[in-house]
A and B are shown apart, each in its own frame.
Chain A
Amino acid sequence: MYNAFFSLIKRDLRLAFRHKSEILNPLFFFVIVVTLFPLGISPEKQTLAEIGPGIIWVAALLASMLSFDSLFRSDFDDGTLELMLLSEYPLSILVLAKIIVHWLITGFPIIIFSPLLGTVMFLSNDAIETLMITLLLGTPILSLIGAIGMALVVALKRGGMLLSLLVLPLYIPVLIFSSNAVGSSMAGLSISGQLYFLAAFLIFCITLAPIATSAALRVSLE
């Protein structure tokens, strides 16, 4: 089972690195969306520092949202997904491997780039550190929850818009607690409560989301 799990991770990572746009496009999208806000609202240092945490988080959320097509779509089109369903390994484990790769190619680059964006949004050093921690805890949650939605719409022709309708409401708790944590650390308040919530939510999602995703895949591929 571990063999299947790791070879699937390796395969998906190799595929992602062959199509570099899959890694780069969400990242560009993330950077561009954040850039739009100073242009649209105001370049004032105070305003940006105030809205920065929320904007960076919303951009991360949308970037992860738009990258879900890469999660199951190509495997669905060429029939790989069907073979995974028929394989002897538990589908939820295989799904978890795919989700981990999705996080590695979309969530992880965002975390790496976030200090840069935090700096241009005039966040304090403490706040940038908190931003990175919340992204580290939060972006895997986005990948896990989004996978459920993607599994539900994968067989539909125009699933993209529907996916955001299904998944964005479920992202809201993550957004609230993360941007609240970053805002609190700007104000010098304690952030352990929010981080505990995110960590608990992450564990919860790791436990249950792969099961829900594999159930959804079975429905979609019937």
Chain B
Amino acid sequence: MNAVDKTKIKAKSNPVMKFIYHFASPKHFYRISGKLIPWLGWLAAILIIVGSIDGLFFAPVDYQQGDSYRIIFVHVPAAWMSMFIYMVMATAGAIGLIWKIKLADVVASSSAPIGAAFTFLALVTGSIWGKPMWGAWWVWDARLTAELILLFLYLGYMALEAAIEDPRAAARACAILAIVGVINIPIIHYSVEWWNTLHQGATVTKFDKPSIHVSMLIPLLLMALGFKLYYATVVLVRARNKVLYAEQNNSWVKEIVNQNN
């Protein structure tokens, strides 16, 4: 009996872990996620639509930046998501490494392209905003550069995953890479204070006295929540497909396939 089986048996005697293993079993995940996806998807769509309308038409005009500031309703949530998804990826990867839960590996690898897409979106919207504001598409400011590095980290992660043929080994190698890359997340976050160059400082997280007006904050938070739910939806859809593919030889998958034919 190898070490992996021993941890599993040990874990299964604990009721909490038993529940987690039960929920994380591919079959149950497939069933539950199938029920969750429509709810999450519709909620995400509603929030993003309401948030965009509120942000684009009802939020007041900024006294300095005019109407062009409105891109923050996409830019800021996308930038938040880019970091959030990397954290999810690293956490899921760590869970997969430590407790050998396959589902965590699937979630980590399904998250990578979504995270890369959000990072790209944050960079593009930032540069569209930067052109009228700073007079340049790109400036070598600390925060922008850190976001670009984050994109590189995502690309490296995906390249490593593609290079290793065995999916189990790929998941474990990628988990290690993601955990190492997490060092970069605080550097992104604190880079504003460290280098303090062109990018404006954070305006939302100062909870005691946010320097953003409530009428702008509401659509921003709606969009942020909408983006989170969108991510949850897409990651579940991707993970479902991967689970189905990985379990293709199991009887429950064959049943589903037969039902649909």
Contact = CB atoms under 8 A, between A and B. Distances in A.
Contacts of A153: 160, 163
Binding site secondary structure of chain A: helix
Interface in A124-143: none
B156 A165 contact: yes
Interface residues of A, number: 20
B160 A162 contact: yes
Interface in A145-201: 145, 148, 152-153, 156, 159, 162, 165-166, 168-170, 172-173
Contacts of B183: 170
A219 B160 contact: no
B179 A212 contact: yes
A88 interface: no
A129 B169 CA distance: 45
Count chain B CB atoms within 10 A of each CB in A169, A212, A216, A222 and give the residue with the most. Answer: A169
A153 B163 CA distance: 9
Interface residues of B, number: 22
Interface in B167-194: 169, 172-173, 176-177, 179-181, 183-184, 187
Given A166-B156, A166-B160, A219 B169 contact: yes
Nearest to B164: A156
Contact of B187 (A145, A173, A212, A216): A173
Contact of A152 (B152, B153, B177): B177
B165 to A, nearest CB: 9
B163 A169 contact: no
A206 B14 CA distance: 36
Given A153-B163, A162-B159, A170 B173 contact: no
A116 to B, nearest CB: 30
A156 B163 contact: yes
B50 to A, nearest CB: 37
Nearest to A149: B177
B181 to A, nearest CB: 7
B152 A169 contact: yes
A153 B164 CA distance: 9
Nearest to B157: A166
A165 B163 CA distance: 12
B20 interface: no
A169 B153 contact: yes
Count chain A CB atoms within 10 A of each CB in B155, B164, B179 and give the residue with the most. Answer: B164
Contacts of A166: 156, 159-160, 177
Interface in A5-51: none
Given A153-B163, A166-B156, A219 B173 contact: yes
B149 interface: yes
B152 A219 contact: no
A144 B146 CA distance: 21
Contacts of A212: 176, 179-180
Contacts of B184: 169-170
Contact of A168 (B152, B164, B180): B152
A170 B164 CA distance: 21
B172 to A, nearest CB: 4
Nearest to A167: B156
A153 B177 CA distance: 11
Contacts of B187: 173
A220 B179 contact: no
| 4 tightest A-B CB contacts, nearest first | A169-B152, A219-B172, A166-B156, A165-B156
5 contacts: A152-B176, A170-B180, A212-B176, A219-B169, A219-B176
